[in-house]
């Protein structure tokens, strides 16, 4: 009788949690002043040559008729004529990602007056030019006649669907709890892939944390009971560690929006077995991934590791994170999946509190949405 009342109470809480989920998915971070982490470019450079080359077009200035000048005008005015894309566009849709940020090349292409134009944006050397304004160098080429020019544009991030999909794995309950307020400070909602067994007769640590996380507006994914390499276990153990274990949580009113493979290891038959029970299935790897709507609709993708062991150098971490997030926002409608574990200074498989706050602040300053895996369900359904 006590268990039944408890489950009924959890079910009532669940309805409240789902309402919070929907509200959090629909909420975008407010515009803020970007802290000048990058070198600040003067708004009015003293060099007259620089002023001539990089002069922004005025809002009331008419679009030029000459093809090259028209191309420059459209780039600097941020019109839709040049559609932005990754040079290796298939890497986004195929999910293989990029081995390093040096391979992240953002381009645009357009046809004007019978001429084919290509622009390459130098996001690695983007600088902050003022309040929520980035200065982005670019190289414009007329592929038809060979004429080219270096120039730059002023760009401000605007609201759209680009976002960050941040998740934490394993059972670092106390470390995660300690950072609930940090997530709230930046309006961030994350997904915790918890591991452990639900015990109907006792309130275990995984159950307690799951309820706390849901109450704070976060999302839950499942990460098996014992964190084994599922390629090395029997089919019977596989089902016991995944589907059967997760169903016990669900019966008690604790849902999982997704499943993450321990160590990121899996085989195709596992995806087919888990798909009917988990809306999303997640891998784990070091390559940099960008998700588009087609990637999301497949239901399985790999998340990029941002653990301290992957980024031993602090400067490299900050530069890479900034570039990854800037590229996602600049292209538009791209979601960046990141995964880590513990939150502490002296750990390899985890992220330092300072790095975590830098990540959250950079995402917020770029006006990226904070997505959970539950949010992806709503996004894939067009909600």
> In Å, what is the CA distance from 30 to each residue of 40, 64, 185?
23, 35, 12
Tens digit of each residue's pLDDT, the chain (383 residues): 223 333 434 444 443 344 444 445 644 443 333 333 333 333 333 333 232 334 454 555 789 999 999 999 999 999 999 999 999 888 887 778 999 999 999 999 999 999 999 999 999 999 999 888 999 999 999 999 999 999 999 999 999 999 999 999 999 999 999 999 999 999 999 999 999 999 988 889 999 999 999 999 999 999 999 999 999 999 999 999 999 999 999 999 999 999 999 999 999 999 999 999 999 999 999 999 999 877 888 899 999 999 999 999 999 999 999 999 999 999 999 999 999 999 999 999 999 999 999 999 999 999 999 999 999 998 888 76
Please report the pLDDT score of residue 59 as a whole number.
52
Instruction: Give the per-residue pLDDT at 12.
Output: 40
φ and ψ of 232, to 5 deg: -105, 5
Q: What is the pLDDT of residue 306?
A: 98
Domain edges within the chain: 2-28+160-380, 48-155
Q: How many angstroms separate the CA atoms of 237 and 224, rounded?
A: 11
pLDDT value of position 42:
34
Rounded CA separation 373/375 (Å): 5
CB 342 within 8 A of CB 192: no
CB 254 within 8 A of CB 211: yes
Task: Spell out the residues 6+ positions from residue 244 whose beta carbon is closer than 8 angstroms to its own.
Answer: none
CATH topology of domain 2-28+160-380: TIM Barrel (3.20.20)
- The distance in angstroms from the start CA to the end CA of the chain is 39
Q: What is the pLDDT of residue 344?
A: 97
CB count in 10 Å sphere of residue 320: 20
CB 180 within 8 A of CB 173: no
């Amino acid at each position: 009788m006590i268990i039944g009342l408890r489950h009924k109470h959890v079910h009532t809480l669940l309805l409240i949690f789902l309402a919070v989920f929907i509200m959090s998915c629909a909420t975008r971070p407010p515009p803020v002043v970007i802290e000048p982490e990058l070198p600040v470019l003067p708004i009015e450079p003293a060099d007259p040559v620089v002023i001539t080359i990089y002069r922004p077009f005025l809002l009331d200035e008419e679009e030029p008729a000459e093809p090259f000048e028209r191309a420059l005008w459209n780039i600097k005015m941020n019109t839709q004529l040049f559609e932005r894309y990754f040079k290796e566009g298939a890497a986004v849709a195929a999910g293989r990602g990029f081995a390093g940020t040096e391979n992240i090349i953002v381009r645009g292409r357009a046809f004007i007056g019978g001429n084919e134009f290509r622009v390459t944006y130098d996001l690695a050397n983007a600088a902050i030019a003022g309040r929520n304004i980035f200065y982005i160098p670019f190289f414009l080429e007329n592929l038809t006649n060979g004429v080219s020019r270096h120039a730059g544009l002023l760009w401000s991030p605007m609201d759209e669907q680009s976002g960050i999909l941040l998740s934490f794995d394993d059972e670092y309950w106390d470390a995660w709890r300690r950072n609930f307020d940090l997530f709230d400070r930046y309006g961030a909602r994350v997904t915790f892939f918890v591991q452990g067994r639900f015990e109907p007769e006792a309130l275990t640590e995984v159950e307690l944390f799951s309820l706390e996380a849901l109450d704070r507006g976060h999302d839950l994914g499942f990460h098996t009971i014992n964190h084994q390499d599922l390629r090395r276990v029997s089919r019977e153990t596989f089902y016991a560690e995944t589907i059967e274990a997760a169903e016990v949580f669900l019966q008690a009113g604790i849902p999982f929006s997704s499943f993450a493979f321990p160590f990121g290891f899996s085989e195709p038959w596992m995806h087919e077995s888990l798909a009917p029970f988990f809306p999303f299935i997640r891998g784990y790897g070091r390559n940099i991934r960008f998700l588009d709507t087609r990637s999301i609709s497949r239901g399985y993708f790999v998340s990029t590791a941002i653990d301290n062991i992957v980024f031993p150098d602090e400067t490299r971490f900050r530069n890479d994170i900034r570039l990854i997030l800037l590229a996602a926002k600049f292209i538009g409608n791209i979601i960046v999946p990141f995964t880590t574990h513990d939150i502490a200074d002296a750990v390899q498989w985890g992220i330092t509190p300072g790095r975590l706050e830098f990540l959250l602040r950079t995402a917020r300053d770029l006006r990226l949405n904070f997505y959970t895996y539950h949010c992806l369900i709503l996004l894939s359904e067009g909600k």
